[in-house]
Chains A and B, each alone.
Chain A
Amino acid sequence: MKNILKTKELGIGAILLLVCIIITLINPVFLTADNLADVLKANAVLGILAVGMTLIIITGGIDVSVAAVTSAVAVAIGHLMLYLPDHPVSLVVVFAAAVFAGTLLGMINGFFIVKFSIPPIVVTLGTLSIISGALLFITNGNYMSGANFPEVFTAFSKYEIFGISILIYILLFFSLITWGILKYTVIGRSIYAFGGNSVSAVRVGISMKKVQYFIYGYMGFLAGIAAVTQTAYIRAVDPNGLLGFELTVIAAVVIGGASILGGNGSIAGTLLGTLLLGVMQNGLILARVDSYWQNLVTGTVIILAVSYDHLQKKRIDAQTAQIEVK
C-alpha cells in the first residue's frame, strides 16, 4: 500500500515531468530559471491554500469560503498598513493581524460545522456568501494600490534569498510545517483517522469537535498567510481578485491525489498538483495559446485526472476482492 501511495504521487510527478518536457519542446523559455521561479512565485498563494485544504479534504470535508476569507484578510491588512509606520515591527504586526483574522474566520466555519452538524459545504457556502457580500459592500469592489503601504512591506515582497523570492520560502515553510503536523502529531493522525472512519474515531476517543475546529481554524490561519503573500505578490489589494479561486484550490488538492470522500491525501501530492496546474497555465501562455481557450486544457486535465484516479482505485479494489480459485 505504501507503494500504491507512492505511485500515486509518482504518477502525478511523472505527468508533471511530461508536461514540462512538452512545454520545453514547444518553447525553451520554459526551462529558464527566471521562468521557473516566476511559476513558483505566481502559485505560492494557490499552494498555501491548497496545503490547508488538503487537511480538510482528508477528513472528507470541504471549504469553499477560503478565497473569500483570504480576500477579506487582504482587505483588512491593506487598510491596516495605511496606518503602520515604516518599521520592521510593522511586518510582524501585519502577519499577526492576518493570521488572527484568518483563524477567527476559519473558527467561525468550524463553529457552525461542529455545533450544528451542518455539512461543511453548506456552511462554507453560507460564509462565502456573507464574507464576499460584506467585502464588496464595504469596499465597493475598489482596488487598493500598494503605493501607500509601508516601505518595509514593499521591501519584504521583493526580498530574495539565493535569488528566490521570499514568497516561495513561505510556501515551502508552511508546507513543511503542515507535513510535520500530519505525520508526527496526534492531531495529524486523527485527521486521517477521522477521514477513514469517523464513527471509529469517536470510539477510540478522538474528539471530532477538536479535529474539526483545528482543520477549519488552521485553514483560516493559512488563508491569513496567503492573504499576506497575495498582497505582497501583487503589491495591492483587489477584493475581487480571488473570485472563484476556491475551486482552483480544490482542483489542486484533488489533482494531487486526495480523495474527496476522505481518508487519503498528502502534502507532497498537493504541491505536485499545484505545480501541475501552475506549469500548465504557464505552458499555455508560452505556447501562445489564445488566453480565452487556456482553461479548456485545465478543465480537461481535471476531468481526466479524477477519472483516471477513480478507475485506478476501482481496479485495485476489484483485485483485492478476488478469491483464490483452484
Chain B
Amino acid sequence: MNHFLEMRHISKTFPGVKALHDVQLLIKPGEVHALIGENGAGKSTLMKILAGVLQPDDGAEIKLDGEAAAIEKPLDAAEKGISIIYQDLSLFPNLSVAENICIGKTFGRSLFSRVNWKTVRETAKKAMAEVGVKLDLNTPAERLSIAKQQMVAIARAIAFQSKLIVMDEPTSALSNTEIEMLYRIIENLKAQGIAIIFISHKLNELFKVADSFTVLRDGNYIGTYESSEINEDKLIALMVGRELVKEKYEKHPTGDSLLEVKCLSKRGNFKNVSFTLKSGEIVGITGLVGSGRTELVQAVFGLNPPDEGEIVLYGKPYKPVSAEKSVKLGIAYVPENRQREGVVLKQSLTNNMTITCLEKLKYRIGLIDFSQEKRLAEYYMESLDIRPRIPEMSAEQLSGGNQQKVVLAKWMAIHPRILIIDEPTNGIDVGAKSEIHRLLRNLAKEGMGIIMVSSELPEILNVSDRILVMRHGRIHGEFSAASATQEMIMSVAFKGKEDEKAESLQNA
C-alpha cells in the first residue's frame, strides 16, 4: 500500500543539541499509528515539524501522497490535510461548539471576509454527525466535559477535511467509558480512510487501538512494528533500551490508625464516604474520572471543606478548613495537575522545594537563612535524584518526572505523616514512573500513610495495599491488593451502569 505520509531523514538540531537524528515516519492511509518513546525521545519535536511549527534540518524529506511537500507554517499543514489535536485540545472556551469546529478554515482566508453563520452551523452539524455525537452547537466549549471537548476537537479536524489526525495523549483526561467512545470514533475515522497518529504513554491501551508502532529513543529512530509482531514488554525494552523488570513490592506490617473518615459528604462531590488509613499503608483510590476521587482527597486536605461527616486525625477530631492547617498537622497533597497546581513553573527549584518549610529555616530575628535553605534544597535534589542538579533553575525547564520529584521534595521537607497523591505518574515516562513507585513504597515502609488516587489499574494494583473503588461519589468496594484483579475493580467501577461496556473493557 502507498503511504499517505512519508517523513525520512528528519534531523533537528537546536543550538548545541540534536533533538532528532535521521528519523523516519511512514503512515498509511486509514491506519492508526502509535508514536511512542520516553519523554525527551523526540516525539513532540517530530510532531512539531509535521505541524509546521518547527523546520527540520537540511536533507529532510517529507512526502504527502507520494509528492514532496513543504510544511513551512501551521497553516500549510492544515491545508495539506494534517490536523494536530494537542493535549490541551486547542479549543476556545468562550466560543460556541459550532465556531470551535469551523474557526480557521471554514471562516475564510481574509480577516475581513464575512462569516456566513449558516455555513458554519451546517459544517459543524455535519462534522459532529460524523463523529457520531449530538451536542448543542451553541454551547460554549467551557461548559462541556473534557470528553465532549475532545469530540469537538475531532470534529474540527474532520471539518478541516483532514486525511491525517495526530492525537497527543488523547486519553489522559478521559474516563474508561469515554476512552471506549473515543476508540469507536477512531474506528469510524479509519473506515473513512483517515490516518491517525496516536501518542500515548499508556502502552496497554495502545494495543487496543494501534495497527503499528514507531519507536523513538533519544532522538533516534528505533523501528516500526506491526502490532501483531510485538508486545508490551518488548516495546518497553525498545523505548528504554533495556529490559524493565516489573517490580513486586513486599507488603509491610501496618501501624496505628492515622486517619478515619466517617460518612463524609459534600453536595455535588461525594456522599457518605468512610475509610481509614493506617501508618505504613498505601490506600489506593480508583474509579472513573468524575467519580469524586479528587474532590474527596481535596476535602481531606482542606481545599474543599465537606458539608457533613467527621474526620478523626491521629485519634482526635479534625475539621479540614484550609490547606495551611492540614500541612501544619502533617498532611501533604500532590495534586493531579502538576503544572498548574503542583509546581510554580516560573520560580526556582529552591523556592519550590522550601515553600512548605520556611519556618524551619529561620534564624536570628526570624529571617530565612539562605545557606541552610540551599543545603536543604541540595539534599533533596540529591536524595530524589532531581536533574539537572541546579537549585537556581526555574521549574519550567525540568521534565515532567523531575517536576513531580520537586513536588514530592517540598513535602518530604515537612516529614508528613500522611501523603495524599493524585495520579502520581500521569504523563511521566516509564523510568521515572518506577522510581516514583519505589519512593512511595519506601515512604510507607518508614511509617507514612499514603492515599494514592490513580486511574491506572496496574499502578493501583502494584503499589497499594488496599484499594477503594469510587463510583458516582460513593465508595462501592474495598479490596486488598493481594486478592484484587483488574476485572474485579472494573466491574465495581462500572457496576449497574453500562454493563456491556464494562464487559468489553474486561475482555480487551
Contacts and interface: CB of A to CB of B under 8 A. Distances in A.
Interface stretch (B89-97, B225-233, B442-450): B89-97
A314 interface: no
A186 B271 CA distance: 48
Interface in B34-78: 74-75, 78
Contact of B473 (A183, A204, A323): A323
A264 B140 CA distance: 12
Interface stretch (B102-110, B250-258, B369-377, B394-402): B102-110
Contacts of A204: 74, 78, 90, 103-105
Given A189-B107, A192-B94, A196-B92, A205 B78 contact: yes
A197 B86 CA distance: 13
Nearest to A194: B92
Given A204-B103, A323-B291, A323-B292, A187 B95 contact: no
Given A195-B94, A205-B74, A206-B104, A322 B268 contact: yes
A304 to B, nearest CB: 24
B115 A192 contact: no
A189 B103 CA distance: 8
B447 to A, nearest CB: 34
Contacts of B268: 319, 321-323, 325
Most buried by A among B90, B96, B108, B267: B90
B110 A325 contact: no
Contact of B295 (A1, A205, A214, A323): A323
Contacts of B105: 204-205
A200 B92 contact: yes
A192 B110 CA distance: 16
A184 B113 CA distance: 8
Does more than half of chain B's interface fall in helix, strand or loop, or is it mixed?
A: loop
A192 B107 CA distance: 14
Sorting the interface of chain B by its residue count into under 10, 10 to 19, 20 to 34 or 35 or more gives 35 or more
B74 A202 contact: yes
Sorting the interface of chain A by its residue count into under 10, 10 to 19, 20 to 34 or 35 or more gives 35 or more
B380 interface: no
B94 A203 contact: no
Interface in A166-203: 183-190, 192-193, 195-197, 199-203
Contact of A323 (B84, B112, B269): B269
Nearest to B136: A1
Contact of B292 (A188, A200, A320, A325): A325
Contact of A185 (B74, B112, B290, B292): B112
Contacts of B108: 186
Nearest to A204: B104
A51 to B, nearest CB: 18
A2 interface: yes
Contacts of B177: none
Contacts of B270: 325
Given A185-B115, A214-B111, 8 more contacts: A185-B111, A187-B111, A193-B92, A193-B95, A203-B90, A204-B74, A322-B267, A325-B473
Interface of A: 1-2, 183-190, 192-193, 195-197, 199-207, 210-211, 214, 263-264, 319-326
21 contacts: A184-B117, A185-B114, A186-B110, A187-B112, A189-B103, A193-B92, A193-B95, A193-B103, A196-B92, A196-B95, A200-B88, A204-B78, A204-B103, A205-B78, A210-B111, A214-B111, A263-B94, A323-B473, A325-B292, A325-B472, A326-B473
